[in-house]
């Protein structure tokens, strides 16, 4: 499958529709263009384990799209919907940050990863795809100046407690953490007791064409007001 063939575009449009999202032509182009770039870079730099374009579409793009609606609703409730700051920690090749930036041009999205070649890819992708709101930051998250984000998100980064300890300082005073997980990580919740963060809610999500459980774990500071 080529990343930019009409069949992929149709699958993308249908998956987005099922998640309550309507994609503009430029957004579809950016998402499919991202897969093409990732395939090209993967040949040399081995950025992700998923190498097939069809699987990338589902496991990377559809999965990342599943967080867009819930994030938009949450940020809208707080009044920061159109001009939010979102940090994606342990972003790897830019997931979900790249997808968030493509669908929300008003947001500033900061992808952070400790591996330089991954951030070089995100920087290059942001330039090629015209995503001026997507920022690549090569750093260990715990050493970075606070990003003051409305929401700090992560996918496949760390346990809830490690995420909270390493990245919690990048959330603004009223900010939240959002971990994208598989099944509900009940075994990870207890360890959060030793941190300043608590689970606010767990939201199940359905990812089209993905035969696996997914959920979103929202966390706020113990004295917070999510």
Ligand X SMILES: C[S@@+](CC[C@H](N)C(=O)[O-])C[C@H]1O[C@@H](n2cnc3c(N)ncnc32)[C@H](O)[C@@H]1O
Residues that bind ligand X (CB under 6 A): 90-92, 95, 112-115, 118, 140-142, 155-157, 166
95 marked among binding-site residues: yes
| 23 vs 208: CA distance, rounded Å | 15
81 marked among binding-site residues: no
177 marked among binding-site residues: no
CB 37, min distance to ligand X, A: 15
**Beta carbons within 10 angstroms of residue 97's beta carbon:** 31
CB 175, min distance to ligand X, A: 18
- Which backbone phi and psi does 24 adopt, to 5 degrees? -80, 160
Cβ-contact 219, 177 below 8 angstroms = yes
CB 65, min distance to ligand X, A: 13
50 marked among binding-site residues: no
The smaller minimum CB distance to ligand X, of residues 28 and 155, is found at 155
| 226 vs 222: CA distance, rounded Å | 10
CB 47, min distance to ligand X, A: 9
- Which backbone phi and psi does 184 adopt, to 5 degrees? -60, 125
141 marked among binding-site residues: yes
The smaller minimum CB distance to ligand X, of residues 24 and 123, is found at 123
User: DSSP strand E in 133-195: where?
Assistant: 134-138, 149-155, 171-181
The smaller minimum CB distance to ligand X, of residues 107 and 157, is found at 157
Cβ-contact 50, 64 below 8 angstroms = no
**Residues in binding site for S-adenosyl-L-methionine:** 90, 95, 141-142, 155
């Amino acid at each position: 499958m080529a990343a930019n063939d009409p069949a992929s575009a149709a699958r993308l449009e249908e998956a987005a529709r099922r998640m309550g999202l309507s994609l503009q032509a430029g957004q579809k182009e950016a998402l499919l263009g991202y897969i093409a770039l990732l395939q090209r870079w993967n040949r040399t730099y081995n950025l992700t384990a998923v190498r097939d374009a069809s699987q990338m579409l589902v496991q990377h793009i559809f999965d990342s799209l599943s967080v867009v609606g819930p994030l938009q609703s949450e940020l809208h409730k707080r009044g920061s919907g159109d001009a939010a700051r979102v940090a994606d920690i342990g972003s790897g090749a830019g997931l979900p940050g790249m997808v968030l930036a493509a669908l929300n041009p008003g947001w500033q999205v900061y992808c952070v990863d400790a591996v330089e070649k991954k951030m070089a890819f995100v920087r290059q992708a942001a330039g090629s795809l015209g995503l001026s709101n997507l920022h690549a930051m090569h750093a260990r998250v715990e050493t970075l100046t606070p990003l003051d984000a409305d929401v700090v998100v992560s996918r496949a980064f760390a346990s809830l407690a490690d995420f909270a300890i390493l990245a919690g300082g990048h959330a603004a005073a009223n900010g939240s953490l959002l971990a994208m997980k598989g099944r509900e990580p009940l075994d990870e919740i207890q360890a959060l007791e030793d941190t300043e963060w608590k689970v606010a809610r767990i939201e199940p999500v359905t990812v089209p064409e993905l035969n696996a459980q997914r959920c979103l774990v929202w966390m706020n500071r113990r004295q917070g007001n999510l």
